[in-house]
Amino acid sequence: MARITARRVHGWSALIAAPSLLFFALTGIFQIFGFHESHNGYVPVPIIEKLGELHKKQAFRAKPPRPGPPRPAGDNAPQRPPRPASTPVPTLLLRWFFALVSASLVVSTVLGVWIGLTQTRQKKLHYTLLAAGTLVPIILAML
């Protein structure tokens, strides 16, 4: 009876998890910069908005639009406080740092999948695990 080593278990679990890791790392980059939400006249591309909802709420649908607050007409309308014109530098640097971390996770995951698929004698099993890790979340999201 063959002994299952930690290295094999690591490889199997990594191939199942890799597609989800890639999804969360890539959609996380969109969320860091707010590409999944409407703001200041920006309207997101529908697929980016849906992927953002899948990332945050595990539902593949566009977020329903929020009703705006009623606006009084004329001179009696209250003035909104001005929004800051730019993001503070520390916040901007942190966003770019986390985007770099997400991009590094993508590169590391892709390299790990490549190693897992090319450096093994169990190619059929490894491709099957990768396919399962890809298809199961897609099927569940579409239900």
Which tokens in the block code for residue 128?
């099957």
Which tokens in the block code for residue 104?
């590094």
Q: Is the per-residue pLDDT at 36 higher than 90?
A: no
For the chain, give every domain's residue range.
6-62+87-142
- Place 17 in a pLDDT band, splitting at 50, 70 and 90: very high
**Most confident listed range (12-16, 38-42, 43-47):** 12-16
For the ranges 19-23, 43-47, 76-80, 102-106, the lowest mean pLDDT is seen at 76-80
Between CA 102 and CA 78 the distance in angstroms is: 42
